[in-house]
Amino acid sequence: MDLNLKGKRALVTGGSKGIGRACAQVLAAEGCEVLVAARNPEPGPKAKAIDLSQRGAAEALAAWAGEIDILVNNAGAIPGGDLLKVDEETWRRAWDLKMFGYINLTRQVYARMKTKGAGVIVNILGNAGEKLDASYIAGSTANAGLMAFTRTLGGASHADGIRVVGINPGPVATDRLKSLFRQRAEAKFGDAERYPELFSGMSFGRPATPEEIAWAVAFLASARSAYTSGCVVTIDGGLAARSG
């Protein structure tokens, strides 16, 4: 299926690895001009090193990117821990990057998209926002808030010719997840390379690939999904739908 994305200009945050990198690669393969923002991107004229948790960073990134057709908000990882383990400094630092990073950059990009009357914003969230987890309280709360942000803005953005959608990935085979499971395999089996055995309890016996999330991003950002806004698509192998 031709997604008719050729010639579109896209900005992907957190685009140097994992889901963000896959999004950048898939959008580029579909013919987009892709700009990447990350703390440590590969050097190049279409990459910008930036920390979106800092004041003024969203404005600086939007000015650098200029007019874009697609924004993929993806930067940010929130550490685990329950209410008593996550202190205020950790909570604020994590939210400054993901929660306020998404909101602030969306505000800047939305204003530019509104001027031309077109654009798509895709927020990569996380299924902990719907399958709430007290041991990941800062992440669950942030993702739930960003789900509400996505739905609220996307429910009204049609008036400006803009679509806003979200994706809730479940476990995804990023370097971060593999590293975590290698540690668990070392502790359980004495052999870090046996980590795939620990995937057996996941849907289909594996995590998603970053590309499976990225392909959904490309479709949602395309005209093939032109009537989609104000919703969040969950890609977690059915995890959030399970009872108990």
CATH fold of 9-172+208-232, please? Rossmann fold (3.40.50)
Query: How far apart are alpha carbons 236 and 213 in whole angstroms?
Result: 10
The whole-number pLDDT of residue 111 equals 98
The whole-number pLDDT of residue 101 equals 97
Structure tokens that stand for 25 in this block: 């690669």
The whole-number pLDDT of residue 62 equals 98
- Residue for token digits 């990134």? 61
| Local mean pLDDT, 10-residue blocks, the chain (244 residues) | 95 96 97 96 93 96 98 93 95 96 98 98 95 93 98 98 97 90 92 94 94 98 98 95 70
The whole-number pLDDT of residue 243 equals 60
Measure Cα distances from 155 to 48, 56, 81, 162 in Å: 31, 27, 33, 10
The whole-number pLDDT of residue 1 equals 83
User: Judging by DSSP bridges, how do beta strands 47-49 and 33-38 pair with one another?
Assistant: parallel
The DSSP H or E segment spanning 103 is helix 99-116
The whole-number pLDDT of residue 180 equals 82
Contacts of 54 (CB under 8 A, 6+ apart): 96
Residue 221 CB-density burial (10 A; 0-12 exposed, 13-18 middle, 19+ buried) = buried
205: left (phi over 0), alpha (psi -120 to 50) or beta: left
Number of Cβ within a 10 Å radius of residue 55: 9
Q: Is the pTM of this model over 0.85?
A: yes
Given CA atoms 90, 88, 134, 124 in this order, what sign does their dihedral have? Answer: negative
Measure Cα distances from 157 to 65, 111, 223 in Å: 21, 11, 16
Contacts of 24 (CB under 8 A, 6+ apart): 10, 12, 15, 34, 36
- Residue for token digits 């930067």? 75
Residue 120 CB-density burial (10 A; 0-12 exposed, 13-18 middle, 19+ buried) = buried
Structure tokens that stand for 103 in this block: 């909101």
Spans of all domains in the chain: 9-172+208-232
